[in-house]
Amino acid sequence: MLIAGNWKMYKGPAETAEFCLALRDEELGGVDVVVCPPYVSLAVAVQLLAGTEIAVAAQNVHWEDEGPYTGEISPPMLRELGVYGAIVGHSERRQLFGETDETVALRTRHALAAGLFVIACVGETAEERERGEMEEVLRRQVSVLDADDNLVVAYEPVWAIGTGKTATPEMAQEAHAFVKSLLDVPVLYGGSVKPDNAAELLGQQDVDGALVGGASLEVDSFTAICRAATRS
């Protein structure tokens, strides 16, 4: 069971240090835990979580080692910092910054080749679900990925990201089982995961963990989700 906290554009180095120092003292149970701070906070997170079982991942990564790509960060740069992995293809990257299935594939392949662990995100919008296109969208998004020991997929229905809406456990199970029928990798659920719904979501047969957004920003709520995963 893997619980990853995606901090999005929150927590500079000072807040990250405070969070990591508190997280080190928490009992997280027998789950794998990853925190994903903004780029500027990766170094302090790596430093303060060294020697623990908590990994640090970036929120994105480029598909080249170096070059004229203003604003991008490469896999070797992340490796040099001691970063464990990266999220790729988050719905906010797709919707707000023009990420495509093709660029998700490029980022994923290059990151894996560089030795990074990758959480590749897939999921349908509210409109696509209403049109009955969930499976078609997931099939297209998953088709660009290849199974790898260092790859997990995160199913995040776009309509449940930052909206407070959450897929029912049955909806999550259905989507996860479908993704696994396409690609033999663990599948995390992402979409308004909170301490009060985590146990039921994580108790589904094909849910292998969670990609947590807002609830990962507070130590208490994040650790509560980790403990819920231990019981699932």
Tens of pLDDT along 93-144? 999 999 999 999 999 999 999 999 999 999 998 889 889 999 999 999 999 9
Burial of residue 120, with CB atoms counted within 10 A of its CB: 0-12 exposed, 13-18 middle, 19 or more buried: buried
- Of residues 96 and 232, which shows the higher confidence score? 96
Helix, coil or strand: residue 139: helix
CA–CA separation, 133 and 45 (whole Å): 39
pLDDT score, position 27:
87
pLDDT score, position 191:
85
DSSP summary character for residue 9? S
Average pLDDT, the chain: 95
pLDDT band at 29 (very low <50, low <70, confident <90, very high): confident
pLDDT tens by residue, 168-214:
899 999 999 999 999 999 999 998 899 999 999 999 999 999 999 99
pLDDT at residue 232 tops 90: no
CA–CA separation, 231 and 91 (whole Å): 29
pLDDT at residue 18 tops 70: yes
Give, for 3, the enclosing helix (H) or strand (E): strand 2-6
pLDDT score, position 230:
85
pLDDT score, position 26:
92
pLDDT score, position 162:
67
pLDDT score, position 155:
97
Q: 146 pairs with which residues across the strands? A: none
Helix, coil or strand: residue 149: coil
- For 2-231, CATH number out of 2.40.50.100, 3.20.20.450, 3.20.20.70, 1.10.287.620 equals 3.20.20.70
Q: Give me the active site residues, please.
A: 90, 156
pLDDT score, position 117:
98
CA–CA separation, 106 and 86 (whole Å): 13
Give start and end residues of each alpha helix (H) in the chain: 13-24, 42-49, 75-81, 91-97, 101-113, 126-130, 134-142, 169-182, 195-202, 219-231
Look at the alpha carbons of 87, 91, 92, 96 in this order and tell me if their dihedral is positive or negative.
positive
pLDDT at residue 163 tops 80: no
- Cβ atoms of 140 and 133 closer than 8 Å: no
pLDDT score, position 68:
98
> What's the mean pLDDT in 65-81?
97
DSSP states of 50-112: TTSSEEEEES---SSSSSS-TT---HHHHHHHT--EEEES-HHHHHHH---HHHHHHHHHHHH
pLDDT at residue 30 tops 90: no
CA–CA separation, 132 and 121 (whole Å): 20
> What's the mean pLDDT in 4-22?
98
CA–CA separation, 198 and 2 (whole Å): 12
pLDDT score, position 158:
86
